[in-house]
Amino acid sequence: MTITEGELESIREAQELYMPQRIIIRRKAYVGDAGFTPETVSIDVPARLIPGFGRWTEVADRYAGITPIRVTVPWNQELEAGMTVVDEEGRTYEVRDVIAPSSYQTAKQALTDKIN
């Protein structure tokens, strides 16, 4: 079974109604000897942030809690591993992985870790 481009666009528009939050997406831009600086990719992006299950990792003989968050954005939004997402309250999440698209992609999901 195949769907038309019009049907697919209708599904995408309906799905965006379930993305009530707004985020900023940034990437690290290389600026020569100064190292890296954040570069804004997109602002006011519709999104849905859903908490995952926390886990603990050992870092330098201490345990650090990591709060994984699943971020859903529109299907055509640029989002890659290494980028950061900033929510409406100013919390920052680092994208660890983007879930591979299906043949009829209607949204893009990424797995992120809260970093502050």
Q: Residues 23-56: pLDDT tens digits?
A: 999 998 888 887 888 899 999 999 999 987 656 5
Q: What pTM was estimated for this model as a whole?
A: 0.81
Counted domains in the chain:
1
Q: Which domain holds residue 72?
A: 5-114
Calpha distance 98→55 (Å, rounded) = 19
Confidence band for 61, pLDDT divided at 50, 70 and 90:
low
**Helix, coil or strand: residue 99:** coil
Domain containing residue 72: CATH number: 2.40.10.270
6 to each of 2, 105, 107, how far by Cα in Å? Answer: 12, 13, 16
Calpha distance 32→42 (Å, rounded) = 23
Q: Residues 73-85: pLDDT tens digits?
A: 999 999 999 999 9
Q: Residues 86-96: pLDDT tens digits?
A: 999 999 999 99
